[in-house]
Structure 1
Amino acid sequence: MPNITAPDGTRLAYHVIGKDDGESDPLVVLPGGPMRASRYLGDLGGLAERRRLVLLDLRGTGDSEVPADPASYRCDRQVEDVEALRLHLGLERMDLLAHSAGGSLATLYAARYPERVARLALVTVIPWVIGEPATAEDRLEAAQLRAEEPWFADAFPALTAWLAGEGEPDWDLLSAFFYGRWDAAARAHDAAAEEESNDEAGERFHDPAAFDPPALRGALERLTAPVLVLAGELDGGPTPALARRLATVFPNAESVVQPGAGHYPWLDDPEWFAGRIGVFFGTVASRE
């Protein structure tokens, strides 16, 4: 298993998926969760057929070591882990894709190292970094789009209870709202989440002390790299409107909405997802 050593000595593993065409640098991928092992990303809907992917297991997840200091799980403390990976790969600038909570880390990295980012794709990312979390109203509005689904009548009361803070969330019912298609593949993907996630790390990841929205906005003014902010049409966190607000903090950004997609858009329509991301990063399909 290839690995690097973070500045604090923690060993971090990464996974390489896809063929090296000898011409393109790899696409570095940061997982969400927060703090879920990168294997939940799979091959990102076939994107690995278009571009070699380097998927980082964040500290304390997957095949990476648990750090000596649990405080280092905080999002801003992991920026130097990403920079250590770039240096290890020998990239002057890197293409970077981040999913969900990984987008907070990617955005902080872009603010600290704007000259090291070639292109940045943020996939279904809630803009915690600028102090705009998904609201209960966001999630309820998105949920109503699923009213004709056969599971909706049982799941919607569980969603309202969760958003109201009434007891422990019933994820057996709630998880359907995170997928555009609540089919066997989505159920299997969701079932793996508990084993793949570091809950302690996840609780520390989005510590409010990690973020300074005014300073971040100022720092991002130096980012010249193109940015793609992708939202799922049916996702409640972020909704397409919230994703568009995230796009406004970057000088050179576009926002797109994947039709019929939830929080894991590569599962809902792999061809659409891999095609749109591939176009952004300038890749071409290798399928015969």
Structure 2
Amino acid sequence: MPTFPAPDGTRLAFHERGEGEPLIVLPGGPMRASAYLGNLGGLDAHRRLVLLDLRGTGESGVPADPATYRCDRLVDDVEALRIRLGLERMDLLAHSAGGSLALLYAARYPRRIARLALVTATPWALGWPATADDRRTAARMRASEPWFAEAFPAFEAWLDGSGDFDPVFVPFFHGRWDDTARAHADREEAETNDEAADVYGGDGAYDPEATRDALARLAAPVLVLAGGADGGPSPALARRTVGVFPHAECVVQPGAGHYPWLDDPEWFTRRVSAFFS
């Protein structure tokens, strides 16, 4: 397992899957070990995936200063990975909360980005969170599912702040609630650093106006991929994100939730590999 030092000396790890030109992958969660990404539905057949374990997750070390879990401070770790790989420019894919890290990196180091893909990434760094209405609308699309009647009231309570997160409504985050999705969801708690997650988007992490201004000058092509059944981000929010960039496109994977490579691996890998080819 390759490792490298972050600028503050924290030892960071990454995992490689497949062969060929590297595609750097930033995990979401926030602060979930990259293991949950697997091989991104078979994308490793097209590119060599370089999956970064963010500090304090997976095989990476725990920093001396927990404040360095903040999203804007993780940008230095991504740049250290680029240098470790010896890349002048890199193709970058980010999932979910990792999308905000990728946006901050692209804003700070625009000339280091060859191509950028944001996969079901709510653009917190742009100041645009997913709304409760977005999530309710997507959830109601699942009304015919056998688990809906039990899950929806708990989901509503979580959205309006009257209830805590409840595993009963995890199916709403998946386009297909099958054995693969269940196994994937069951690993989440063990793979996530909750302390780090609380810091990730803390005060000072984002400067949305400055980030939007910087990304308006990004020369690299950008792909924003949304799931048709995902409420965070909804397809509408993904399309709004596209408007920030001068060279971007939005695609919506039909019926997909927040983990589209699980819902339809062939569709996902075909579309993403075409973008990076």
Query: How high is the TM-score relative to the length of structure 2?
Result: 0.99
Equivalent of 2:118, from 119, 122, 130?
Answer: 122
Does residue 2 of structure 2 align to residue 2 of structure 1? yes
Equivalent of 1:237, from 228, 232, 240?
Answer: 232
Equivalent of 2:218, from 211, 218, 223?
Answer: 223
Q: Which residue of 2 aligns with 1:17?
A: 17
- The aligned length equals 277
Does residue 165 of structure 2 align to residue 177 of structure 1? no
CA distance in structure 1 between the aligned counterparts of 2:56 and 2:253, rounded to whole angstroms: 31
CA distance in structure 2 between the aligned counterparts of 1:205 and 1:108, rounded to whole angstroms: 13
State the 1:208 CA deviation.
3.9
CA distance in structure 2 between the aligned counterparts of 1:167 and 1:218, rounded to whole angstroms: 37
CA distance in structure 1 between the aligned counterparts of 2:193 and 2:76, rounded to whole angstroms: 20
- Aligned AA (1:109): Y
- Aligned AA (1:15): H
State the 1:4 CA deviation.
0.8
* SS of residue matched to 1:45: helix
- Is this contact kept in 1: 2:33–2:191, CA < 8 A? yes
- Is this contact kept in 1: 2:31–2:194, CA < 8 A? yes
Superposed, 1:244-255 pairs within 5 Å as 244-255=239-250
Equivalent of 1:151, from 147, 150, 153?
Answer: 147
CA distance in structure 2 between the aligned counterparts of 1:276 and 1:208, rounded to whole angstroms: 36
CA offsets, 1:81-138, max 9 Å, x none? 0000001100000000000000000000000000000000000000111111111101
- Is this contact kept in 1: 2:55–2:61, CA < 8 A? yes
- Aligned AA (2:13): A
Does residue 207 of structure 2 align to residue 212 of structure 1? yes
Q: Which residue of 1 aligns with 2:267?
A: 272
Q: How well do the aligned residues superpose, as a CA RMSD in angstroms?
A: 0.7
CA distance in structure 2 between the aligned counterparts of 1:30 and 1:169, rounded to whole angstroms: 24
Indicate the percent of aligned positions where both proteins have the same amino acid. Answer: 69
CA distance in structure 1 between the aligned counterparts of 2:274 and 2:191, rounded to whole angstroms: 30
CA distance in structure 2 between the aligned counterparts of 1:208 and 1:235, rounded to whole angstroms: 27
Structure 2 residue runs of 5 or longer lacking an equivalent are none
- Is this contact kept in 1: 2:57–2:191, CA < 8 A? yes
- Aligned AA (2:156): T
Equivalent of 1:85, from 65, 81, 103?
Answer: 81
- Aligned AA (2:164): E
Q: Which residue of 2 aligns with 1:257?
A: 252
CA offsets, 1:235-269, max 9 Å, x none? 01000001111111111110000001000000000
CA distance in structure 1 between the aligned counterparts of 2:29 and 2:133, rounded to whole angstroms: 22
Deviating beyond 6 angstroms after TM superposition, the runs of 4 or more aligned structure 1 residues are: none
State the 1:19 CA deviation.
2.1
- Aligned AA (2:119): V
CA distance in structure 1 between the aligned counterparts of 2:213 and 2:235, rounded to whole angstroms: 24
CA distance in structure 1 between the aligned counterparts of 2:165 and 2:50, rounded to whole angstroms: 33
- Aligned AA (1:67): P
Q: Which residue of 2 aligns with 1:112?
A: 108
CA distance in structure 2 between the aligned counterparts of 1:247 and 1:36, rounded to whole angstroms: 26
CA distance in structure 2 between the aligned counterparts of 1:254 and 1:11, rounded to whole angstroms: 36
Query: How high is the TM-score relative to the length of structure 1?
Result: 0.95
* SS of residue matched to 2:211: helix
